[in-house]
Chain A
Amino acid sequence: RKEVEQDPGPFNVPEGATVAFNCTYSNSASQSFFWYRQDCRKEPKLLMSVYSSGNEDGRFTAQLNRASQYISLLIRDSKLSDSATYLCVVTGFQKLVFGTGTRLLVSP
């Protein structure tokens, strides 16, 4: 089993839709969690950290489920500019693991 797993997609959604991605992790002792966004041929950029109680940043909501060992990212009111690949990152014990990413395509 991979340490961090994501559905590669692509997720094709119309503008205005709500879309959610999950990311599962295998190490129950993982400590910190993040979501990154990567545009084609560009560097990954930090989208948001994921806190135990869940957190929101505008149209984006991140949640952590330690019991089931997954994190989620919810995007509301999707924009064309949200089209990108979303990478989850799981850290712990000086180790940081990236998922391979979920591709999102938002169409007009």
Chain B
Amino acid sequence: IAGITQAPTSQILAAGRRMTLRCTQDMRHNAMYWYRQDLGLGLRLIHYSNTAGTTGKGEVPDGYSVSRANTDDFPLTLASAVPSQTSVYFCASSRDRGTSPLHFGNGTRLTVT
């Protein structure tokens, strides 16, 4: 079934550790995104990619990095996790950025202790 796959589903991580959240889509969408969602704050964009080989910063990029080596994969890395990065992380993709709707993965629940 076409869609977006995120891994892991959930993770408990010690502060200071490095962590990569994985995201893969098989819809051949050009644009991909990482959001975090916290109670009362809605979805906030961390990083995005308009197409393979390009990335851009969203509204809350600090402490996170991404890469887009190919069309399908868009991993999100926390170089040194902090408790404030405890959140639910959603990866999403769309045919193009800015006009077409987003399709979301199931999310990764991350707890940084």
Binding site for B on A (CB under 8 A): 31-32, 34, 41-46, 49, 87, 89, 91-96, 98-101
**Which interface class (under 10, 10 to 19, 20 to 34, 35 or more) fits B?**
10 to 19
Assess the A96–B102 pair: CB atoms within 8 A. Answer: yes
* Central interface residue in A31, A34, A43, A100, by most chain B CB within 10 Å: A43
B interface secondary structure, majority: loop
Contact A93 B90 (CB under 8 A): no
Contact assessment for A94 and B50 in the assembled complex, using a CB-CB cutoff below 8 Å: yes
* A96 and B98 within 8 A (CB): yes
Contact B98–A44 (Cβ < 8 Å): no
- In angstroms, how far is the closest chain A Cβ from the Cβ of B103? 7
Top 8 closest pairs, chain A to chain B, by CB? A100-B42, A94-B98, A43-B104, A98-B43, A32-B99, A46-B101, A94-B97, A34-B101
B104 touches A44 (CB 8 A): yes
Chain A residues contacting B94 (CB-CB under 8 Å) are: 96
CB of B110 to closest CB in A, whole Å: 14
Tell whether, in the assembled complex, residue B105 and residue A43 are in contact, meaning their CB atoms are under 8 Å apart: yes
Q: From known contacts A42-B107, A99-B42, A100-B41, infer whether A89 and B90 are also in contact, taking CB-CB under 8 Å.
A: no
Besides the known contacts A91-B98, A92-B98, A94-B98, 18 further A-B residue pairs in the complex with CB atoms under 8 A apart = A31-B98, A31-B99, A32-B98, A32-B101, A41-B88, A43-B104, A43-B106, A44-B90, A46-B101, A46-B102, A46-B103, A89-B102, A93-B98, A94-B50, A94-B97, A96-B98, A96-B102, A98-B42
